Every structure is written in C-alpha cells, then in structure tokens.
Amino acid sequence: MATAIVCNAIAINLKLNNSFTIHKLVMASLFHDIALQNEDLSSLISMQGKQCNSLSIQEKNLFAKHIYDSIQTLRSFPDVPPNVESIILEHHERPNGLGFPSGLDSFRVSPLACILIIAEEFVDHVFRHGFNEDSRNEALEKMSKEFCKGNFKEPMNALLKIYIQG
C-alpha cells in the first residue's frame, strides 16, 4: 500500500493525477508482487548479484516467474485498465538495462513503470532501514544517481521534489 501512495504522490507531482492513471498505478502497486509467497523474495531487484545467488533453485524459479504469475492473478479481476500488465511486466527493469525479464534500458521502460519502480525502491529502502530522515535521505541520494536518466529522470525528480522541497 505504501508503494501505491508514493506512486500517487509522484504522479500528482508530474501532473498525471487523472483518475485513470492513478487507478493503473494503484492496481500495479497492489498486484506486482502478489505471487511472491516468500516475503524475503520481495526485496530482490534482479536475477543477478549475491542476494539472488544465495537463493535455492526453487526460490530463483519462483522469483523469475512471479511477474507472470502476478499478471495471471490480475487477469482474474474484471475491468483492469489497459497497460497495468505492462507496468507489472517491467517492474524489475533497471535504468542500466540489467533488469529482467527483458533487459530494457532507461529509455525503453514505460514512464508509468518507471514511477512504480522508483516508488517501490524508495519504499523498500525505508522499510528496511527505518522510517527516519536519515534513511529517507540516504535512499534519495542513492536513487538519484541510479535513476537520473531516460524515462526515470522526471519521476525521480518528482520524488526528490516531494521530499526535499516539500
């Protein structure tokens, strides 16, 4: 739910605060990791790195397919707005192209997916490191370096504006 709230704040800051866009972002926020049965897996970002390498083969497989399973769950609901599946499909893509499942770079990830990715990254950091100003600032500093290009740039600047400028 916190990710949906941050997505909403970013969208409002970007003047994308029509009810249709907000509905898409809330749906994607609520469903993107719904298929993950192991809460520890929800903090993973990619299929690479030491965090993923420490997983069992079964956990890696669950993580790799959770995007498709989440989309399948979403499809069981009526009247899902267009593009929600695409947002979920791209929620593990990274600006440097090292995300998955498609390895999209910062210019090929859809703008709404960029909002979700940035919101999720921010919320995850704050949940793991504490609900305080230092943790928030640490997340914003780290993220501003990673998400400073392509379709990520405007949503990242919106997040900075929300928390730095108020």
- Show the domain range for 79: 2-165
Q: Kindly indicate the confidence band of residue 47, based on its pLDDT and cuts at 50, 70 and 90.
A: low
Q: Indicate whether this model's pTM tops 0.85.
A: yes
pLDDT at 93: 95
Mean pLDDT of 47-65: 80
Domains contained in the chain, number: 1
pLDDT digits (tens, 9 = 90+) for 94-129: 999 988 899 999 999 999 999 999 999 999 999 999
We report the CATH number of the domain holding residue 49 as 1.10.3210.10
Nearest alpha carbon to residue 148 among 90, 95, 92, 91: 95
Find tokens 């800051």 and name the residue: 13
Q: Kindly indicate the confidence band of residue 164, based on its pLDDT and cuts at 50, 70 and 90.
A: confident
pLDDT at 163: 87
pLDDT digits (tens, 9 = 90+) for 24-33: 999 999 999 9
Count CB-CB contacts under 10 A for residue 37: 11
C-alpha dist (Å) from residue 62 to 36, 41, 44, 68, 135: 7, 9, 12, 10, 30
Q: Is 7 exposed, middle or buried (0-12, 13-18, 19+ CB in 10 A)?
A: buried
